[in-house]
Amino acid sequence: MSRKINHYLIIDGYNIINAWEELKNLARTDLEHAREKLINDVIEYAEFTGKKAIVVFDAYNVKGFREKIEQRKYITVVYTKEHQTADSYIEKYITSLSKYDDVKVATNDYAEQQIVLGKGASRISSRELKLDLDHARNKMREQNSSSTKKIQRNWLEERLDKETLSKLENIRRMR
C-alpha cells in the first residue's frame, strides 16, 4: 500500500517580511501591504508547484486577538491568537502532520530551525525561499512564453498552390 505524500511549505510570515529588504521597507510604511505582497507571492508559488502553503503571522502582542485562519486561493493564512508565537503554532502544526509528509519551514530563526529539524521537517532560510519563489516565477514565464510561441496562424493561402489561390481570388472578386 503506497501513501500519498503531501508537500507542505510553512512560512513564518513576519520573519520573512523582516528578512527580505523589499518587504521590510514596505512594512515600515504599510505592514498590511507587505503581508499581502508576501501572501500573493506564495499563492503564485503554491499554484505553480502544487505545494500546500501555510503563511503564519503571529498576533502575540495583540490584546484579545483570537486565532484567525483564512483559506485563500492555493494557501492558508493563519493569524495566531494573543500570546501565541508563529513558532509555537508552526511546531504544533508540524506535529499534526503525517511523518510521511514532506514539510519545509521557511524561517531565519535559528532556534526555530533546530526545533523544526527535530520534528522531522526541513528548514529553508528566507534567502532560499526567495530563490525558490523567483525560480518558480521564471519557470512560469518560460512556460507562458513557450505556449504562446506554439500558437501559430494557420493560413489557407500558406497551404494552397498558386493556381488554386488564383482561382479562389478570381471567385472572390466576381462577387
Contact indicator for 53, 31 with CB cutoff of 8 Å: no
pLDDT of residue 130: 95
Whether the pTM exceeds 0.75: the reply is yes
pLDDT of residue 153: 65
- In tens, the pLDDT along 41-71 reads 999 999 999 999 999 999 866 777 888 999 9
The pLDDT of 146-162, averaged and rounded, is 68
Q: Domains for the chain: give ranges and CATH numbers.
A: 7-150 (3.40.50)
The pLDDT of 154-173, averaged and rounded, is 80
